[in-house]
Amino acid sequence: MVTIDKVKVLISGEELSQKVNELAERINNDFAGEKVIVIGVLKGSFMFLSDLVKKITLPAEVYFIEASSYGAGTQTTGVVKISKDVERDLTDQNVIVVEDIIDTGITMEKVMELLRARGAKAVKLCACLSKPSRRKVDINIDYLGFEVPDEFVVGYGLDVDEMYRNLPYIGVVENAD
């Protein structure tokens, strides 16, 4: 288990709420008059996805995929594991993948590749956070909340060793071991 002495607020709950409203408005405008399939990447995206879909005014279906390149630690293993897949045909659908954070981009590259191969009309990526300094693959984020520094962040669905997902803000972990 990881021990944390302190979590410093990086992005407040109010800032998150405002950004979610902005992203939902862009999605509503980009897909006006159409249906969207929203796919949340478990587990980290659940809070962001929940807030986002409440603001999407289009007809929307919600599904989940579980994909990760992280084990119990804070560093990517580099190997992407899909442990829960989407149980819906995506042919000719508008798909929006919702992720908590794009770090190296390895996991998301694999997920986007997989969903595009299923014949979707559009596959767009919506991420709450991005750490561009850690990127190992080029990934296009269509709807981005915030860029964050190369520090380990928790809260608003993001965890360390399955803890701290319930924080209503995004914080930087200090003194973790």
Q: Which of 51, 100, 103, 159 is catalytic?
A: 103
Known catalytic residue: 103? yes
Residues 6+ apart with CB under 8 A from 138: 105
Q: Do 71 and 100 contact (CB within 8 A), yes or no?
A: no
Q: Do 143 and 127 contact (CB within 8 A), yes or no?
A: yes
How far is 42 from 83, CA to CA, in rounded Å? 10
User: In degrees to the nearest 10, what's the CA dihedral of 97, 103, 105, 106?
Assistant: -110
Q: Do 112 and 125 contact (CB within 8 A), yes or no?
A: yes
The residues assigned a catalytic role are 103
